[in-house]
Amino acid sequence: MREHLKPEQADEAAEAVLDLYGQDLRVLQKSLLLKTLAALRSPLAVKPLSQLLRDRSEKNANLKRNAIAALVAIGTPAALRPVVSVLEDEDPYVRHGALRHLAPLTGDEFGYDPARSAADNEAAIARFRQWWE
């Protein structure tokens, strides 16, 4: 979608999508908005998507996985940092989503196992952080 828009149009559309996301919506509607943000690839979405990943009150792992996909689609270093950070999330399904998107970018999983705790994955997480830096 972004290829068909000027950068300012994509950013304007992303702002409108983010405004909609803040409303009282069903999970499916929120998921579709997150997928739209991925298609727009606007850097303006990085901060709110990062906040969604850090939000401990948000228990829907699918929404967080969609946020991960949107951040990876944006692809800037600032967008990838929260994806690396979520490797330490308490939810193994969310951690798996991060690994699924990071491994193709890094070319390696560094021995990371999303079924294991962050403490058990300490060395692998350090390698992902080193890659990000």
Q: Are 45 and 37 in contact (CB under 8 A)?
A: yes
The model's pTM: 0.92
Q: Are 80 and 72 in contact (CB under 8 A)?
A: yes
| Torsion sign over Cα 117, 122, 123, 128 | positive
Q: Which amino acid is located at 20 in the chain?
A: L
Q: Is the pLDDT of residue 90 over 80?
A: yes
Q: Give the DSSP letter of residue 3.
A: G
Give the pLDDT confidence of 22-42 residue by residue, as tens digits: 899 999 999 999 999 999 999
Give the pLDDT confidence of 42-72 residue by residue, as tens digits: 999 999 999 999 999 999 999 999 999 999 9
